[in-house]
Structure 1
């Protein structure tokens, strides 16, 4: 099997599962068919579904030098807006770049983005801090962690009412504390932990962020950029923002909802990651 090659996994259930886990934002097609079809390579009468079921990960044998990056994030890492099966998430682009360089071709990228996820709050799925053990610490071969979380925490605070200045300050302080805990836990495992700055989202109609939300985002990014807080920083904010309106995504990098990147935006994010961070 070659690097970056697609994998087909067939699973048979003796009876309908009483419970099922699924990834609604998989951007990849599954096929469902009745009967024992483990030996069927065509699945001619199967029903296509745009999500994954039951499978949480795939472990493979690898060379002793193999290493992995965990990308811990929300829908921007999950790949919201990416066409199904096209592998155009920013993590996919990063994996392709890593595979073409001799010093990084043994580095894998584990996409642990969950659409709607938050750093601390229970938004969609378990929050990033609470899933650190399962999604980071327990992953075989992990050596690096990229954290790109926080936009949903910032947006949710003022979505249904105007937050007070005191609430904003306390919210920023809690988020900073959450980042610091993730950094400390990653360093305790010997991981290099890399912070991704929170990207602009002014104009988004779901969160409708105001000037106070933008000031909070700027405060978070100042903390992320401060030397010593993370082992390194990928300034995604600087990459995708509109220089003329830095609280907004550059139009070419905007999917249209003023929060999620376009395909060009995801490519720009992938290209902005310095491969020297992961070189042997």
Structure 2
């Protein structure tokens, strides 16, 4: 009788075992941070020889937490293979410092080896390492270059300070005496492994997404504010976000970096875990149309139609992958001295924004125009939100943008 009584009790106990005993996990990789890489020009490029046999430390902020990480390196612009002697990762002491917590430092491996050769034009993932990461943690990635890259691959608009010293400083806790610049090089993503379900938003845009006018090392772009709001909400802490803005970017033509349609597959659709895109592009297309000379009304009309056509392309290509696209209205920019927009340019902006707002085109709407415009002069930025050029928001403007985003879009 004792045996017959114990058998069902043990069976019930097995069925009701705690999560630590019974849980199964299917790990998922998701991009927790990313930057769009391209060929830097002018003062965004480093003097020749700067990277050769030197260690470059770059700080990034993770948008989501997880248990293991891997680093994606890029030699996108290289015409020859890129030889790296080693790469390390650690928690940074602060976003504005080269100092790391030595207890968290780990040397990365590539196919089990410390060194790696990245083919021309390619990306290369490190082997995963166990490094528990929390959302909003600052991580420091240190790269030791064996020689000078054949061509620089970079993200000039980092709004984050990077640190460089000659020699091997992968294990250096301080990097005392390092030279500095505010660009990222050859670092295109940090991928994070999670057991829990996850969603990923990719913000595709120009300098207003890249953060022109935000605070260096301040993490106060509109995307940063959105990440903070998501992480403050217990219902939405499983939502990650990566910023794929490029200053000067356009939908239709190359500017600083390739046009949005040309880079859509690499920078957006290929991100592991992507479920939604926020598309804020078009202000540079509108501005460049008449920057150098006026054009005919027919040319204005055709230009607006091409911008809308580009939106349709992004939507179609994303939907084919099961990814939703959220349209963001274009901010006002009358008063900008570079584009010197007139009433006709403003009419173009209104026509584009009307299309964005029309239900049935995008899968959701963020009305950045409404959030940032001056009610007394709706073709201009609110003065408190203007960094000073009538085009780019100030940190207060970026905060207003981040606060204007309905979090229900990501449910």
Superposition TM-score, scaled by structure 2 size: 0.67
Offset at residue 64 of structure 1 (A)? 4.1
How many Å separate the matches in 1 of 2:281 and 2:200?
A: 19
Offset at residue 63 of structure 1 (A)? 2.9
Aligned residues: 279
Task: Give the conservation status (yes or no) of the 8 Å contact 2:196–2:238.
Answer: no
Equivalent residues in 2 for 1:73-92 (5 A)? 73-92=205-224
Aligned equivalent of 1:127: 259
Q: Which of the two has greater strand per residue? A: 2
Residue 94 (1) aligns with residue 226 (2): yes
How many Å separate the matches in 2 of 1:64 and 1:163?
A: 53
Q: Could you list the per-position Cα deviations for residues 186-239 of structure 1 after superposition, in whole angstroms to 9, with x for gaps in the alignment?
A: 111111210000110000000000111000000000100010000111010011
Is the radius of gyration larger for structure 1 or structure 2? 2
Task: Give the conservation status (yes or no) of the 8 Å contact 2:222–2:401.
Answer: yes
Residue 186 (1) aligns with residue 355 (2): no
Q: Could you list the per-position Cα deviations for residues 221-267 of structure 1 after superposition, in whole angstroms to 9, with x for gaps in the alignment?
A: 01000100001110100110011111000111111100001111100
Offset at residue 121 of structure 1 (A)? 1.2
SS class of match (1:268): helix
SS class of match (1:8): strand
Equivalent residues in 2 for 1:131-142 (5 A)? 131-142=263-274
SS class of match (2:278): strand
Aligned equivalent of 1:152: 284
Equivalent residues in 2 for 1:116-265 (5 A)? 116-265=248-397
How many Å separate the matches in 1 of 2:163 and 2:291?
A: 38
How many Å separate the matches in 1 of 2:145 and 2:181?
A: 17
Runs of 4+ off more than 4 Å: none
Equivalent residues in 2 for 1:1-150 (5 A)? 1-150=133-282
How many Å separate the matches in 2 of 1:160 and 1:248?
A: 21
